[in-house]
Amino acid sequence: MLKKISLRMRLTLLSAMVMAGAAVILTCVFLFGADRIFVRNLPQEFIGSSEITLSGAAAEDMELASVTFTIKEAGNRFNLWGTAGLILVLILGTAAAWLVAGRALQPLEELSDTIEEISGNDLSHRVEIRDRQDEIGRLARSFNLMMDKVSASFERQKRFSASAAHELKTPLATIAVNLDVLALEEAPPAARLEKVLKVIRTNNERMIRLVDDLFRLTSENGSIVNEEVSLEELLAESAEELSRPIQEKHLTVSIGSMPGLKLTGSRVMLSRAVGNLFENAVKYNRDYGTISISARKEAGKIIMRMADTGIGIPKEEISRIFEPFYRVDKSRSRAMGGSGLGLPLVKDILEKHGGNITVKSTPDESTVFILEFPENNFQEYVVDTE
Ligand SMILES: Nc1ncnc2c1ncn2[C@@H]1O[C@H](COP(=O)(O)OP(=O)(O)O)[C@@H](O)[C@H]1O
Ligand SMILES: [Mg+2]
């Protein structure tokens, strides 16, 4: 019931109640005081009678032969004035409280209007603060701060969707163009058919990889996985998978000994994280370059270091390489089958395992990724089940 009444009305009622209480107490004190001080101090014979005639000694003092006055009437009049004053104070006070509450709540009304103006597509509105230092100013500031965060996140999501659509469009367009060209010929030769088939297969695989990465990066569903995973084994598997490009680029890979170093979490996801980093170290390396991987325990952490002698990353780009779809050289990455989701995925996996990743790089010389995992990390890790 109380919640249905406006805040302004509630404040007014509250003030009116307080005022009424105070006024009633004050009036009672007055009436009681008047009774005690004036009426009870009168000679005994005056009290209770409605009409008194002064005579004798009293009459001489007052230079009046006889004074007649009615105590009861005077008392009644006093009571009447007191009650009228009380009602007047209440009416005026309530009106003043209504006005003051309205003024005090005006900024809240403005805040509500601004919030109502904000639509799903335009998050640029902000509340005017005008140097207010009170609670309303604080509320408005918090609201504006929240809007900044919401709008930044909205922009990120928009960019993410646009990039995802663009990344999917490229292979689809390539397939469409190849099919159109093929359709122009009545009986295309087998070699041509084979070439188009290869293009379709490559682009299809690319899209599957992309959708798979997108799905993993955005999905929150999962079940708890808590496996013990040997880091050495993960690295050996990745090296095996990448053996072909390693050979083609004549790279030297050295994996330092790391006996008994175990991570806890999802084997599939940890293998994907280590594999993505390893793949980058191969992809962005120079011919006849090296990749050195080492790991050690230190202060309750397992620290892995993966260094390559590749093209490096310019200083100003380092902070952005963990953003989805960000690539220093887009055409180069795409030519190598990359979509810019590798590092965001690595970061996400590490964070879910309680770890973190940092990078140091010198352009045209080397790049070092440093991964930190908590030792004996028996936290619950949620991995996609679909
Ligand atoms: N080891 C590395 N050496 C140089 N540049 C790298 C390395 N790893 C990542 N990068 C840069 O970071 C970008 C993002 O990496 P990633 O998210 O794995 O995307 P992708 O490999 O699909 O391009 C890469 O495009 C590349 O420009
Ligand atoms: Mg990559």
Dump the DSSP string for 232-243: HHHHHHHHHHTH
Q: Quick check: CB of 309 below 6 Å from ligand 1? A: no
Q: What is the rounded CA–CA span in Å between residue 182 and residue 356?
A: 49
pLDDT at 38: 67
Please give the distance, rounded to the nearest whole angstrom, from the Cα atom of residue 37 to the centre of ligand 2.
96
Among the listed residues 282, 298, 301, 302, the one whose alpha carbon sits nearest the alpha carbon of residue 290: 282
Residues of the chain falling short of pLDDT 50: 50, 63-68, 385-386
Top mutation candidate among 319, 343, 370 for ligand 1, by most atoms within 8 Å of CB: 343
Q: Quick check: CB of 321 below 6 Å from ligand 1? A: yes
Q: Quick check: CB of 291 below 6 Å from ligand 1? A: no
Please give the distance, rounded to the nearest whole angstrom, from the Cα atom of residue 197 to the centre of ligand 2.
26
Q: Quick check: CB of 340 below 6 Å from ligand 1? A: yes
Top mutation candidate among 213, 319, 333 for ligand 1, by most atoms within 8 Å of CB: 333
Please give the distance, rounded to the nearest whole angstrom, from the Cα atom of residue 245 to the centre of ligand 2.
14
Q: Residue with the nearest Cα to atom 8 of ligand 1?
A: 280
Beta carbons of 350 and 356 less than 8 angstroms apart: yes
Q: What is the rounded CA–CA span in Å between residue 23 and residue 54?
A: 37
Q: Quick check: CB of 328 below 6 Å from ligand 1? A: yes
Among the listed residues 262, 304, 247, 268, the one whose alpha carbon sits nearest the alpha carbon of residue 384: 268
Query: Per residue in 76-97, pLDDT tens?
Result: 787 788 888 888 988 999 999 9
Residue 239, token pair as written in the block: 């090296």
Q: Quick check: CB of 285 below 6 Å from ligand 1? A: no
pLDDT at 35: 72
Q: Which of helix, strand or coil describes residue 87?
A: helix
Residue 331, token pair as written in the block: 């055409």
pLDDT at 42: 64
Domain extents in the chain:
2-117, 155-218, 223-383
Atom from ligand 1 closest to the CA of residue 329: 27
Buried b (16+ CB within 10 A) or exposed e, 140-154: beebeeebeeebeee
Residue with tokens 């973190």: 356
Tell me the average pLDDT of the chain: 85
Dump the DSSP string for 131-146: T--SHHHHHHHHHHHH
Q: What is the rounded CA–CA span in Å between residue 158 and residue 164?
A: 10
pLDDT at 275: 95
Q: What is the rounded CA–CA span in Å between residue 281 and residue 264?
A: 24
Q: Quick check: CB of 339 below 6 Å from ligand 1? A: yes
Q: Quick check: CB of 311 below 6 Å from ligand 1? A: yes
CATH topology of domain 223-383: Heat Shock Protein 90 (3.30.565)
Query: Per residue in 23-50, pLDDT tens?
Result: 888 888 877 887 777 666 666 655 555 4
User: Using alpha carbons only, how large is the chain's radius of gyration in Å?
Assistant: 42
Q: Quick check: CB of 203 below 6 Å from ligand 1? A: no
Residue 13, token pair as written in the block: 């009622």
Top mutation candidate among 286, 321, 336 for ligand 1, by most atoms within 8 Å of CB: 321
Q: Residue with the nearest Cα to atom 18 of ligand 1?
A: 342
Q: What is the rounded CA–CA span in Å between residue 235 and residue 213?
A: 21
Q: Quick check: CB of 277 below 6 Å from ligand 1? A: no
Q: Quick check: CB of 343 below 6 Å from ligand 1? A: yes
Q: Quick check: CB of 327 below 6 Å from ligand 1? A: yes
> Virtual CA dihedral for 370, 163, 216, 147, nearest 10 degrees?
90
Please give the distance, rounded to the nearest whole angstrom, from the Cα atom of residue 351 to the centre of ligand 2.
18
Q: Which of helix, strand or coil describes residue 267?
A: helix
pLDDT at 68: 44
Please give the distance, rounded to the nearest whole angstrom, from the Cα atom of residue 264 to the centre of ligand 1.
26
Q: Quick check: CB of 310 below 6 Å from ligand 1? A: yes
